[in-house]
């Protein structure tokens, strides 16, 4: 189906969009559908609209929750570093606030890092896990620098050109970047205090800060949840060699590679993204 607009994607979907208090952090949350709980987490500098093309499809089988992580989108931006443990605690707090005891978690990029950490350290809260282009598993300094510099440039100068370049980084098919997506990012990046907020997010691209949370076999090996690695052929943040690292570290994992897509397969390859989620996440409910 051709994408027209975000509101067009949501036009026939019954959903709620509201703000929830999570330990004093005003958190923007969208929910739709019914069934097993599935929570979606976006990437660095992102917001819940990253999943606009998938929400109606996922809501056919799940009670789906998408939200803006602390310091992101239109959630609150308290002035402290948003390290992986902070983002994970915010996720657990959101689950508590929404009355969700246990859920499937699917995270893209930074969101994948957060859900993996959550599965390692809060195993009782996680059913199945999808790591969608989680990015830079090898902790390469050049990838950190590119992420930091491109994101900060767009926030410091949220012009059409700089913001469009930041979003195009996520896509293999750059012609799919719409004016609407650019405008949304401009609105987020122009929020009062957002320069400090993104600075607090980008601490994770500092090798010294990152060291405490970096992907490594020790904590990744604690993940007991069945895990799907959702990779692509053209992810600018990490290749299939990094997926193989995770397959070695994770006790129960499998890999699916989406062709002809970049860092956002949930936008570029909607049908395959939905099909892989349904097949993997519904296995438990089907008794497989």
Q: What is the CATH number of the domain that holds 117?
A: 3.40.50.1820
Number of domains composing the chain: 1
On whether residue 287 sits in a domain, the answer given is no
On whether residue 73 sits in a domain, the answer given is yes
Q: Would you write out the chain's pLDDT as a tens digit for each of its 288 residues?
A: 678 899 999 999 999 999 999 999 999 999 999 999 999 999 999 999 999 999 999 999 999 999 999 999 999 999 999 999 999 999 999 999 999 999 999 999 999 999 999 999 999 999 999 999 998 898 899 988 988 999 999 999 999 999 999 999 999 999 999 999 999 999 999 999 999 999 999 999 999 999 999 999 999 999 999 999 999 999 999 889 999 999 999 999 999 999 999 999 999 999 999 999 999 999 844 444
β-bridge partners, 254:
228
Distance CA 63, CA 76 (A): 24
pLDDT of residue 283: 82
Distance CA 102, CA 120 (A): 14
Where would I find the H helices in the chain? Answer: 6-10, 55-58, 84-98, 110-121, 141-156, 160-168, 179-189, 194-201, 207-210, 217-220, 240-249, 265-268, 270-281
Domain that holds residue 67: 6-281
On whether residue 288 sits in a domain, the answer given is no
On whether residue 151 sits in a domain, the answer given is yes
pLDDT of residue 1: 60
The secondary structure of residue 243, as a DSSP letter, is: H
pTM over 0.85: yes
On whether residue 241 sits in a domain, the answer given is yes
Please, are residues 266 and 132 in contact by the beta-carbon 8 Å criterion?
A: yes
Distance CA 57, CA 278 (A): 10
Q: Coil, strand, or helix at residue 49?
A: helix
On whether residue 38 sits in a domain, the answer given is yes
On whether residue 15 sits in a domain, the answer given is yes
On whether residue 142 sits in a domain, the answer given is yes
């Amino acid at each position: 189906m051709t994408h027209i607009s975000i509101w067009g994607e949501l036009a026939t979907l019954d959903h709620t969009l509201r703000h929830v208090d999570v330990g004093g952090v005003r958190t923007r949350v969208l929910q739709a559908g019914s069934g097993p709980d599935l929570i979606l987490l976006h990437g660095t500098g992102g917001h819940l609209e990253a999943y606009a093309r998938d929400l109606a499809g996922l809501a056919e089988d799940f009670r789906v929750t998408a939200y803006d992580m602390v310091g992101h989108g239109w959630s609150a931006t308290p002035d402290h570093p948003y390290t992986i443990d902070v983002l994970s605690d915010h996720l657990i707090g959101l689950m508590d606030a929404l009355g969700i005891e246990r859920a499937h978690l699917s995270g893209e990029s930074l969101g994948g890092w957060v859900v993996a950490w959550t599965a390692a350290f809060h195993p009782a809260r996680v059913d199945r896990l999808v790591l969608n282009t989680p990015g830079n598993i090898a902790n390469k300094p050049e990838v950190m620098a590119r992420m930091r510099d491109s994101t900060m440039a767009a926030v410091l100068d949220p012009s059409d050109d700089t913001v469009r370049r930041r979003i195009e980084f996520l896509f293999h098919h750059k012609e799919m970047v719409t004016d609407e997506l650019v405008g949304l990012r401009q609105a987020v990046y122009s929020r009062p205090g957002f320069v400090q907020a993104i600075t607090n997010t980008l601490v994770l691209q500092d090798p010294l800060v990152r060291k405490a949370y970096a992907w490594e076999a020790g904590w990744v090996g604690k993940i007991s949840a069945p895990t799907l690695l959702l990779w692509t052929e053209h992810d600018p943040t990490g290749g299939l060699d990094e997926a193989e690292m995770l397959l070695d570290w994770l006790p129960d994992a499998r890999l699916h590679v989406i062709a002809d897509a970049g860092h956002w397969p949930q936008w570029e390859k909607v049908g395959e993204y939905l099909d892989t989620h349904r097949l993997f996440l519904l296995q438990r409910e089907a008794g497989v």
